[in-house]
A = this chain, B = another copy of it.
Amino acid sequence: MSKIIKVGLLGLGTVGTGVYKLLEKQKEKLLLKSGTNIEIKKILVKNKDKERPVDKSMLTDDWQEIINDPEIQIIVELMGGMEPAKGYIVEALQKGKHVVTANKDLMAEYGQEFFAEAESQNVDLAFEASVGGGIPIIRPLKQCLVGNDLTEIFGIINGTTNFILTKMTNEDVEFGDVLKEAQELGYAEADPTADVEGYDAARKLAILSSLAFHSRVTFKDVFVEGITKISSKDIEYAKELGYVIKLIAIGKNTEDGIEVRVHPTLIPNNQPLAAVNDSFNAVFVKGDAIGEAMFYGPGAGELPTASAVVGDIIDVARNIVNNCTNRINCTCYDKISIMPKDEIKTRYYIRLQVQDESGVFASISSVLGNQKVSLASVIQKQINEKNEAEIVIITHVVKEKQLMEALKLISELPIVSEVSSVIRVEDI
């Protein structure tokens, strides 16, 4: 075994470039920090001839050159997406190479398969950067908090939507306009679907819940709703009622199974998450011993994410040096069922367009009452001269299924012209 641990880097986008820069900057200190020297040997890119701020001799467009290089012990996958990244990771593990990845898409869907392969080959699979950018969260869950039975993990884990919602809240602008601006600034991608529809957060929640509850949760288990339908009007009403709207990811280990959901959520103004703005992320953990703890920091970005990746590389290198790779691998020793969506219990914010006639509110509240939906707050406002009014309701806790049935009946009332918004409310 070489005294220099050689790394093969897959992908040289934002995070890949950050990792390259950080390893260069830390060059002199890596031996002191990890007990060994660490060097990138090869970098897989699509186009070798593109101008890049790295040593050109490292670049290759041929995966075979990396996977078949016996000197390369750690593969750092930063390409993102499904294929070919998935195939490369599996092949690397099968060849006995350690893998560090920031790929939440893959970890949320194929974590179990990867871990089985890593375990059988006695190699490491590290993925701190897959959730919360630079925030230390994976390792604290696997190590520091392992003495707990964790009951909840929730937070803001998508920077793009938090940037958009923060701007909508502070500047009273609509979703479409902010999205366009975010795309121009590089905070949102050209195809923003994964972020704005909540898929990215749902993948990260699947990873966090698997770790927190020691039971495999995958992307498809998570109930997801994005932020595209949130209007500045809802944000205004929320303010009036003492709430802020955030895209919140919630994982709970309940007696009826694991509840996992990502959706726009009204949270109270004084909840610490209400103050997590722009592209920052924060994750709350609740457990029987710790009570609660919170981890806050930059949820994305070149260097913050590189911080997590390089932390992983150094930790894997320490394991190699100490001959104890595969020291902590898959921690999903339990098998807990996923709670069906209909069974989720929460509170709801509902905005309705109605005819401004006497008895309107009575009809609506009678429908809700029949469905056992009780009300916590109500605002009714005349919105124009045409005899139209807007009613905003916040309910007490109710099962999703019951609420949906009540909403169906309400939308059928002749005096209700539209159910404009339905947003969940959490007093977390």
Contacts and interface: CB of A to CB of B under 8 A. Distances in A.
Interface of A: 18, 22, 25-26, 29, 32-34, 128, 134-136, 139-140, 143-149, 214, 272, 275, 287-298, 301, 303-304, 306-311, 313-315, 318-319, 322-324, 327-328, 331, 333-334
A327 B318 contact: yes
Contacts of A311: 143-147
A327 B35 CA distance: 10
In the complex this chain forms, how many copies of it are found? 2
Given A33-B331, A291-B134, A293-B295, A147 B307 contact: yes
Given A289-B306, A291-B134, A324-B327, A147 B22 contact: yes
Given A134-B291, A136-B140, A272-B275, 4 more contacts: A136-B145, A145-B311, A289-B304, A327-B327
A139 B371 CA distance: 50
Contacts of A147: 22, 26, 33, 306-307, 309-311, 313-314
A140 B141 CA distance: 11
A265 to B, nearest CB: 20
Contacts of A298: 290-293
29 contacts: A26-B149, A32-B334, A33-B146, A33-B331, A34-B146, A134-B289, A134-B290, A136-B145, A140-B140, A140-B144, A145-B307, A145-B311, A146-B315, A147-B307, A147-B311, A272-B272, A289-B307, A290-B298, A290-B303, A290-B307, A291-B301, A293-B296, A294-B294, A296-B296, A318-B328, A319-B324, A322-B327, A323-B323, A324-B324
Contacts of A18: 289
